[in-house]
Structure 1
Amino acid sequence: MKKIIYSFVVISMVSLSLPIPFQTSPVLANGQMCYEIGDAPDGDEFASIVVDFSQGDQYDGDPVDPARSVPEQGLALENGEDVTNFFSLGFGGEIIVQFNYPIYNGTGTDLKITEDTWGTYPLEKAEVFVSQDGLVWTSLGFADNTNLVGIHTTSEFDLPVMMEWANYVKIVDVSILSDFSTKPNADGYDLNAVEALYSAVPIPCDFDYACGDGFLYLNSNASSVSSDLYIVSSIDGSAEYKKTYYGNFQNTLAADVDGNIYSIDRDTLKIMQLMPDGTSLEISQTTLPASEGTLTVAPDNTMYLALNDERLYSIDINSGTSTLLVDLTAEGVDVQGGDIAVNYNNLMTIINTSGEVWTVELGNGYAVDFLGNIGSSRITGMTVIGDVYYVTNDTNDKIYTFTHADPVATQLGDFGYNFGSGDAASCAPERLEAGIEIDKSAEGFGGDPFEVFSSEEVTYVYAVTNTGELPLFDVEVSDNKCSPVIYDSGDDGNNKLDISETWNYSCVVEMNEEGSIENIATSTANDPFGVEVSDSDSFVTVVKGPGCTLTQGYWKTHGDPENEKKYDSTWDEYFDNWYEVIWTAPKGGNAYYILAHQYIAALLNSETAFVPEEVQEALDEAGLLLQTYSEEEIGALKGKNGKELRSEFIYLAGLLGGYNEGMTEVPHCSE
């Protein structure tokens, strides 16, 4: 059974034998520990660490005597009239100290400040503050040198009723400088010791409230003046009675991620924490219009209340401020005194007393989906552990389970007690991690470098993948060099980037800027808790100038590998297929060779020069014609049909010839 470790809350009274949970500061220790009132080890009743200090000056403006300027001399009690037994704050100076064993709020005074004043002296005075975290401070009043005890003066303080413990003490000199005109060497409040009169000592955290191995059920007794809390087994549904809590806690029970258990008192609308000793401690006063509803806490520790009139509220646990989120009436939801629970995806499930079940996407505009009826009625409570939902039926006192994938009630076991009107809860699920990844590339990219010509259109492509443990909403993709980025494919139809799902995007841009161009694509999305995740990926495009073209005559005379001086290596990939063709004269005006010569030259030019769109189309069409027809077929063309086909060959040869001769936007090379 997992042990629950509670965080401190504001409380007014607690049994001295009760283990008091205490959230330690990072300086003291990591994580949470349990404490009870007790005796600290010898010496640890005094402050142990100087966190910070700022020493003032003497009355005459000179620095304080170095022997009286060691801040650690103000931690633990030292006897005897020796200047090394205390730390002089100096006028206006201050010191912050910390305890190994926190000050506990016991009976009477809890903190003693010891000061050294030997003989008759003006009033030395300091304001005393306490804090739990070293950030937020509460003033306890003033210490001075009027209460003489032996050779020391002491001042004692009581922690505020609403502060159960403190771990830091700040002491600030507020002595009136003009009172010391006859004592030029006066140096303000002389701190000897900071002592806890009650200490919080660590003990094993042995709370036996379940968190993960079962769930809780709070059963309202007659007249709703008290409620019994049970731990219910998630294995067989059997229950174990734990405590009785006094208050009207009917049908409102929730537990946060840390296992702190809450309810709302219907009579006062206050959020109460249910403590292990059976006491209920006020956390905050809500601003709710009513509490005729049901309660839960989500993985981000947001508290939700669904009222019986179908209005859904979020509640800040610490302040009690409630916010109306949505009225679910229009969506057909009927809370009807049922229960709610939120899973690790921030997906709320609502069940009413008739067994009807809905889901509400808290991070996606409160989209509602009706799952059906689980087949069990008179539902009094529901909670979720993992993907399994546990419900209680007060007609037969049995526990049932169902899942979203199979929303049909399956009997788990007998509760063993009378359910009555109550509520179920388990610790809010651990929050999962969200993640997104974007991979940017370009159509035609086969490896670095990715080269294009200026004025050439490039189609960038983007693959956006959910790499986390939560679905994502509101996916957006941007590119600092291309806009707009358009969604193409990937969504399965639910408008969510599901776990491991990939969505594909694209963007077309004409490259006008020459050089090595790095552009960055960024994808963003929101997880179900409204937290944004993002990722970026860069891609480098080398944009070249348009280059220049050469005529078929050049390529004809520079294609012989035997002539090393004139050979142009651009022919390397084309020699076997086309060198003989370019040297074949178009006898009788054979249009096949007329087109082939310009086609070969254009192919070779395209290796180093930009190819305009209309030229590329002509190249593609010419290549298809030359593949479809033989030179014999074209040479033998006669008649009207033959004339039309020959004219097409000649027309394409003219287009490609214009490209080869520099008559397009790509200039002709100087040979």
Structure 2
Amino acid sequence: MRYWYGILLAVGLLGACSQAPQGVKPQVAVGASVTVEKTAVPKFKRTYRWTMEKKVTDPASGTLTLAPGQSYLVKYAVYLVGTPTDSDFQVEGTVTIKNTGSVDVLLQAPSDTLSTGETVALNCGVSFPYTLPAGQTLSCTYSQALPNGQSRTNTATVNWSGNGESGTASGQASFAFTTPTQVVDGSVQVSDPSATLVNAISGITPEGVISQTYFFERWVSFDRCGEYQVDNTATFTTSTTRTQGSASATVKVSVPCAGGCTLTQGYWKTHSRYGPAPYDDTWAQIGEDTPFFISGQSYYQVLWTSPSGGNAYYILAHQYIAAKLNILNGATTTPEVDAALAWAEGFFGTYKPTDSLSKALANQAKGYAATLDSYNNGLIGPGHCSE
């Protein structure tokens, strides 16, 4: 009995000794293991070269015929294009070699190559072969100039050995030259001292080409007859190198010395002292507020009253006022224009806008209005001014 009791006691003691203490995990030997991680940061410079062009957009022909003292709003468009050139390509980053095993490993000199064949020099700060302790990391840096902006893959490789084992570890990183890290002359300042900036629009293509359009305008007027040339120059200055460029546009202006030229009723409606266009002082020779015959309205009011329902009185009055202002502005007339004006003055001295007219009289008034309309539009007489 004592014999079996002794055996059972020995077995129980052996079982108790083979159990790990509570809360302690057993150690697992993983041997030798190495990993490689890699970064690749592309860098390059983008330099812009700018060109400029300037055009007259109104008048589209680039020529004007004006009466003495008449103003015209000339409009210009300035077109700029910034064309990029990329250079100074390089890639830089780190190669991180990690000993993820439980034993020291011996590293041979790592290599770093690009998919286009270039060899990259690594700066690891140690001599090889190099012993990398278990759980430790070795970081290498690099910076490599490249001949072009081609996309590439960068691969770093290291051979290692330890604890009777050996192997090769590698890491890759791809990169593309999409966003420049340095931009030279990426924008411009545009000035046009002789004109006023109205609006500007810009855009950029996926290839980086920048387009910008600036819209300018200026008033042109000459008090004396003659032939004139209006030159207008815009200048740009780049943001980095302060490089300058310019472009000019020309408008040729003719102010007839004999006979003048005519303007439509639409011009005279908007160029009184009430606006909205700049004042044409020819109006001062009549006076916007002067009573228009026996109408009970002023010249200005009659000109702005719509001939609703085909009112012959206002149709004739509009053309009459425009013709009178054209003559005061220096335009010569023709016998048929003079006859139409004389008839109109007799008509306005007799009738009011609200009077009922016979069909024959209304048609006669509209016929003389058509003659004066042809005169005001330059179809007869000295010709039409630019508006």
Range into which the TM-score falls when normalised by the shorter chain: 0.3 to 0.5
Question: Per residue, is there more helix in 1 or in 2?
Answer: 2
Higher relative contact order (CA 8 A, sep 6+): 2
**TM-score (normalizing by structure 1):** 0.21
